[in-house]
Structure 1
């Protein structure tokens, strides 16, 4: 009887041990697949979206700077000027949504575009700058947009941050616009299109969508910042150039961007048609930008008087 009790007790112990091992194994099975899935997804994105060709061009420690001859519509007339597109990759802090000072596993690799325009209206000048920060992996909307305009009447600033929604702050010297803070539902941003073209133009949206127009257009025409229905299309202009077109019917506005089919998909120029001027005197005019010169250089290091000759390289 005692032997039988000992034997029964041993069986129970073994059974509990097996159950415990199975429980641990099940626990490990529950934890490991999630970790593996995340890692595999990350690796797949990196292989798919960041090719060796892309890395060699965009992670060389330089920026791509391209100048354009600008013919800008403003106040119902055409104004001569210049535009510069500065593209560069950089690490971006996800929480603060600013450029990271150091390496961090949570940094977002972005392709940044600083778009600068300068032109004269009569006696006074205009200086405009738009910045867009777009994930290199082309897997989300722009992380952040900002726009500023300076002229003798005053200056304007607008910023959009991609959080749970698109959070917007805007400041203007106009009473009707003044200081604003509001949120928008997430949808396509016109500003991010310029980054998407450089990363993966085959992933450009085509069809009818709700699109938030560029911050420059909205603030310069004093339109409401919101989504508008737009028709988006892509066609071949010739053997080497594609044209991406955005048409906003209710705004009576269209934007056409010409870019090279071959990598690195450089922006060759653009045209933007909309009504310019005040009230009944407004008329449809077309702003154009034609590529002038382009250089690849670490411009942030070239701030000495001896570096002034580089502006000649850009025709500025």
Structure 2
């Protein structure tokens, strides 16, 4: 019954969209990759970037750390998991740009630990949509998990939560536009592939978890801007912005390959009851290339110092 109610809710929200919603569907533009793409992303290392985080939660700003780990991986198109054998030359092997994005911050006495993983095909001319997105959130009240799997023209959404109204869910939502969570990987692949204008966007899973909102496609105004300087960099850089009715997300990135993400700002009403308009902000600390999966000894904590991250 809960699944039926949730499905009806999603359909009703979609039905309420303006009649020109299909005109706002995000166009998946094809952009040629830079000539040094393979040398950077297929060198057997991941790129790790640390950020100083100021996270809006419960009507206040909380300091913390964010990390983005970008790496290419062989991915099973049918099973939608990383292939054990990277030498698999079957049609099932799709090379993806994987992003593991983490946030850690304290709210009063208890900590938050959040993680989002996005799997976007490198050959987005052949596979224009992310294959999978997973997001988890842990804090002392409990933990939640959400997963999106691409299934032809739909995404299968499964959600598990300690909140009665949110879990457990297993529903289909239409692939009707851009996933906000794919923007980060699209910037790294080639930001010229990002759409502009009024488009339908599925809000980021971090936002959906923190604000407890239903997964549907509101429209947003997407724009790109070139600036000479900002608090994120003294060098010229670009900004990609999504303006929703009640929220705004701006991502700052370098204009040249490898299109490093310098930081982001996200503004919306925060708190419960009497809310306040607050801005989450993350600013880049440092970036390194590393085969981090082999850096698991105590001496390797020095790499965290290089990234400006806590070693405790």
Runs of 4+ displaced beyond 6 Å: none
Query: Which position in structure 1 is the counterpart of 2:243?
Result: 247
Asked if the contact 1:49/1:138 (under 8 Å) is kept, the reply is no
Q: What is the number of equivalent residue pairs in this alignment?
A: 267
Q: Note the C-alpha offset of 1:178.
A: 1.6
Asked if the contact 2:47/2:70 (under 8 Å) is kept, the reply is yes
Asked if the contact 1:240/1:262 (under 8 Å) is kept, the reply is no
Query: Which position in structure 1 is the counterpart of 2:280?
Result: 287
1:172 aligns with 2:161: yes
RMSD of aligned alpha carbons: 1.3
Distance in 2, matches of 1:50 and 1:265, equals: 12
Distance in 2, matches of 1:146 and 1:158, equals: 6
Query: Which position in structure 2 is the counterpart of 1:219?
Result: 209
Larger of the two Rg values belongs to structure: 1
3-state SS in 1 of match to 2:172 = strand
Alignment of 1:123-134 (within 5 A): 123-134=109-120
Query: Which position in structure 1 is the counterpart of 2:254?
Result: 260
Structure 2: give runs of 5+ residues left out of the alignment: 1-30, 229-234
Q: What is the TM-score of this pair, normalised by structure 2?
A: 0.84
Distance in 2, matches of 1:134 and 1:56, equals: 19
Asked if the contact 1:49/1:136 (under 8 Å) is kept, the reply is no
Q: Note the C-alpha offset of 1:105.
A: 2.3
Q: Note the C-alpha offset of 1:51.
A: 4.4
Q: What is the TM-score of this pair, normalised by structure 1?
A: 0.83
3-state SS in 1 of match to 2:186 = helix
Q: Note the C-alpha offset of 1:50.
A: 4.8
Query: Which position in structure 2 is the counterpart of 1:86?
Result: 69
Query: Which position in structure 2 is the counterpart of 1:159?
Result: 147
3-state SS in 2 of match to 1:112 = strand
Asked if the contact 1:90/1:112 (under 8 Å) is kept, the reply is yes
3-state SS in 2 of match to 1:308 = helix
Describe the superposition over 1:16-49 as per-residue Cα deviations: whole angstroms up to 9, x where unpaired: xxxxxxxxxxxxxxxxxxxxxxxxxxxxxxxx74
Q: Note the C-alpha offset of 1:283.
A: 1.1
Distance in 1, matches of 2:162 and 2:308, equals: 33
Distance in 1, matches of 2:34 and 2:191, equals: 14
